[in-house]
Amino acid sequence: MTVPKFLMAENTDFPEAIYIVHTEFPRFIINLENDEIEWYEDFNQQDEEELLSETENCIKMATEFYDREIARYEE
């Protein structure tokens, strides 16, 4: 099965939350409501330094994906 790089998710228990799932390394879920990120990788200290610099890029990519998807729904 081919899985897209990004997936949108929602949950009625958290009606204000908009989740974007990043399925490739580094795997994570971001809540666009508050930019909280849950990482699904184990990182060592060296990885964490690189991760910190990459976090901003991850948020940007997830937000761009969300904006693109919403724009397609509105067409």
- Name the least confident of 1-5, 36-40, 41-45: 41-45
Q: Which residue has the higher pLDDT, 53 or 2?
A: 2
What length does the chain have? 75
| Reported confidence tier of residue 68, pLDDT bands at 50, 70, 90 | very high
Please state the domain extents for the chain. Answer: 6-74
C-beta of residue 48 within 8 angstroms of C-beta of residue 55 = no
Q: What percent of the chain has pLDDT over 90?
A: 61
52 pLDDT more than 80 = no
- DSSP output for 2-16: ---SEEEE--TTSTT
